[in-house]
Amino acid sequence: MSKSTPASTVLVTGGGSGIGAGLAAAFHARGAKVIIAGRTRERLVAVAAKHRGMEIEVVDVADPDEVGALAARISTGFPTLDTVINNAGIQTQFDFTRAEAADPSLLGREVDVNLKGLIFVANAFLPLLKRQSNARLIHIGSGLGYVPLASVPVYSATKAAVHSFTISLRRQLADSSVHIVEIIPPVVETDLHRSQSLKPPRAMKLDAFIAAAMAGLDAGRTEIPVGLAKVLRITSRIAPGLFLNIVNKRRG
């Protein structure tokens, strides 16, 4: 989907806050019909209240039945859907050096939302997207998919898997009408980190990130690393050990 072919109808998962809400607002400002989806109705309502005409859908992306039902509703109510932004995600710090084991339910939940949920959404919505003459499936990755942050090992692993899945999907659908895109943020100032005692250093302002991401989409790029993620993309190949140490430098 090129700059001359703007999105007409957009679904954003994890649209109740952070990057999802920011991208939803950007597409809404351009005149697209925007549907935001997420687990918490109150968050969705608060975002939609700021943007007249924005729709909301409550869904847990980790539940394939709920995702399938959402796809059925969207297919009926918004048959011209041409853009899906697969953004829902959670991040938890896990310390495997502790004497006690980590809570398996928390470990599993992060994998379920960040990876399985993204795959469920892609699987459920690709049939609708393939009906359009020009469509996009956009995955939100992370610079930590290139170089992991040891304090969030499960998050980093899921984002590496998202990157791999996106590459495979792009290869499979190369001859279709659906463009497979990955936006790869650095650390961005959002409430993704609300459970952590310290805010991550060198976090990018959300508005600046959204502007850069939209510029990449306008340019028709299929892989859009932003800010420090550009550095991690390159250095993960040429000096992986060095930047693994830099990313995981102890903070005093």
Structure tokens at 59: 């869904």
Q: Which residues are catalytic?
A: 155
pLDDT digits (tens, 9 = 90+) for 31-43: 999 999 999 999 9
Number of Cβ atoms within 10 Å of the Cβ of 146:
25
Distance CA(125)–CA(83), nearest Å, equals 10
Number of Cβ atoms within 10 Å of the Cβ of 148:
21
Q: Which residue has the tokens 């991550």?
A: 200
- Whether 8 contacts 32, CB under 8 Å: yes
Buried b (16+ CB within 10 A) or exposed e, 198-207: eebeebbebe
Predicted confidence at residue 233, as pLDDT, reads 73
pLDDT digits (tens, 9 = 90+) for 171-195: 999 999 999 999 999 889 877 544 5
Q: So what's the architecture of 9-247 in CATH?
A: 3-Layer(aba) Sandwich (3.40)
Number of Cβ atoms within 10 Å of the Cβ of 171:
9
Positions in the chain whose pLDDT score sits under 70 = 1-5, 192-201, 235-236, 239-240, 243, 250-252
> Residue 89 phi/psi, 5° resolution?
-165, 155
Distance CA(83)–CA(157), nearest Å, equals 26
Structure tokens at 15: 């649209």
